[in-house]
Structure 1
Amino acid sequence: MKPFAWGAAQIKTFVTVAEERSFSQAARRLHKDRKTISEKIENLEIDLGYSLFTRSSRQLLLTENGSRLLKRAQILLAYNESFARYAETLMCGEAGQLTLCFDESIDRSFLLHLEDKLRLEKIKLNLLCTSRSYGEMLLKQGKADYGLFLSRGKLINSELRWRIMGSVEMKIFAHKDFFSSCLGVLSIQELSSKNQLVLLTELTEELKIKMIISDSYQLVNDIFLFRTLLERQVGWSFAPTHYDFSDNPNITSLNTEIGLDGFNFSNVLLWGKDLPPYFDYLVELLDH
């Protein structure tokens, strides 16, 4: 196969035909005539050296190679559209704007760092702390661009796209006197006998399995209240290690039979079917 480069128009033609499963429908959508669309696909197939579609039925169906190529083509097309939107904001001298939803597990210092970086690029970042379900609703309604949440370990709504993006480490914390009657390494039984504080707005069955040890637990989604309840010895908790308890020496991590090492939970970045602007730049910042 001779080397060649696909242009944005060729990629869009291929994706549109694949989505419409018809040269005629794709032509109407792209405001072109059917012959032009058909010839573009045929030329692509000649350059590639293999077929992208089977033409034996009334509907065009992707070949195995065509299906594999479609996923990459959709990503490239979304990147191109995102780049075009960003370029337009620079041309107009306008500040871009993004809305990011996040939950209680996300490092606030990281969010401030992200806001600093985007502001230097003239991008305003709206930061909304929400539950996962409410954040997903905002994404589907187009009222938010991205969501960054603790992964649930389950299938994500088909209306959303996703990517695993880093992780959050959690350890077990409590007031140093909360387990004063227990000597040595704390057992699971000792943990389960005491009230557990859960720092999440909502608790799915998947997260219950991962995070709930105690027979008694209570939800708290405000960091100030969470820290205060730990100080008042209301309960113990799994908490992200990025929470800074250095100003409160009474709060300490516990040595349990689970171990001193933290537990890593994946974060997931969510967005709608259409890739929002600044995707490449945002992902680069999140990866670092």
Structure 2
Amino acid sequence: MRYSLEQLETFVAVARAGSFSAAARQLGKTQSTVSAAIGNLEVDLGVALFDRATKIPTLTEAGRRLLREAHGVLDRCLALEGHAQSLSESVEPGLTLAIEIPYNVLMPAFAAFAERFPHVDLEVRHPLHGDVSALVREGEAQLGIGFAQPGYARELDFVQMGKLVMAHVAARGHPLAALSTVNFSDLRQHRRLAFSAHSERLPTTEYLDATHCWRAESYLALLEMTRAGLGWATLPRMLVRRELADGDLVELQLGAYPHTDWLLGVDLLWNKARPLGKAGSWLRAELARFKVSETDSAGHPTAF
């Protein structure tokens, strides 16, 4: 079989136009050229693609089936051309991101990136021990998204993306869930389930202490352990809204903060000494414009 892409394009054009003459006009060719291309393709494939018994050729059963295959081949050719064009424009083949906040808030930005750069691979990493800035500083990730820190290395630059509300929660059967107001001394008597990224380093975490502490680098692991009653945890409220609404988890009301939510800034990080390629620069700009926010306990959007 030595059929060509031009023959497949002609086949698709005839099927779409409904006749050889109409396809010829669309392709800018003579009708005889189109007829010859279809005839040669039928010889190469060994099947009749069109029934010529009627005045207007119609697809045979084999033609209908092979038309789908032809569309698939041509679609793959377009993808190949697009990939080659992106490489010729110095678009990097892949990007690595280090992320420590819940991923769901970033999906709109990722969807826009996938549409703009369909051939660029994206790797998302959980930072080792929650240190987003270290991965970006060492070049293991081109961009980092994490909870704001009081100071970054000189090589790093950042922009704040917004704020998230952190909620102190326990399972509904946990002893802390029965208390109308929870003091720090109450927390210390029960196991703490902490996300490694902010177990010690974020503002006010020095008060969230306990005799025993289990740590995890996965929010989902902490969520499941909390639902199982293994301890209390501090998690992004947007991550546990469903569990709070269903009553599986109870938000602990801290006596020290009766009128305020615990808000944490979210920063986008990059290394000033490591220039980003075309895709990385576009994604950094998109994320910088993207606002991470949610509503607080009073129903108001978190402000910058």
Q: TM-score range by the shorter chain?
A: 0.5 to 0.7
1:102 to 2:107 alignment: no
91-100 vs 228-237, greater mean Cα deviation? 91-100
- How many pairs does the alignment contain? 198
Contact 1:185–1:255 (8 Å) recurs in 2: yes
Rounded Cα–Cα distance in structure 2 between residues aligned with 1:221 and 1:184: 30
Map 1:151-230 to 2 at 5 A.
151-153=148-150, 155-179=151-175, 182-201=178-197, 203-206=199-202, 209-210=205-206, 212-230=208-226
Distance 1:232 1:219, change over 3 A: same
> Secondary structure of the residue that 2:239 maps to in structure 1?
coil
93-102 vs 256-265, greater mean Cα deviation? 93-102
Q: Taking structure 2 as the reference length, what is the TM-score of the superposition? A: 0.55
Contact 1:132–1:149 (8 Å) recurs in 2: no
1:251 matched residue in structure 2:
249
1:131 matched residue in structure 2:
128
1:115 counterpart letter in structure 2: F
> Secondary structure of the residue that 2:160 maps to in structure 1?
strand
C-alpha RMSD over aligned residues: 3.1
2:285 matched residue in structure 1:
280
Distance 1:164 1:211, change over 3 A: farther
Q: Taking structure 1 as the reference length, what is the TM-score of the superposition? A: 0.58
Rounded Cα–Cα distance in structure 2 between residues aligned with 1:93 and 1:157: 29
Question: Equivalent of 1:231, from 227, 234, 237?
Answer: 227
Map 1:60-79 to 2 at 5 A.
none
Distance 1:200 1:207, change over 3 A: farther
Deviations 1:198-228 (A, max 9, x none): 1224644555745623343221222332122
- Which runs of 5 or more structure 2 residues have no equivalent in the other structure? 1-84, 294-304
1:142 counterpart letter in structure 2: G
Rounded Cα–Cα distance in structure 2 between residues aligned with 1:254 and 1:237: 10
Distance 1:246 1:119, change over 3 A: same
> Secondary structure of the residue that 1:242 maps to in structure 2?
helix
Deviations 1:158-201 (A, max 9, x none): 12112222112101110112126954322222122211111224
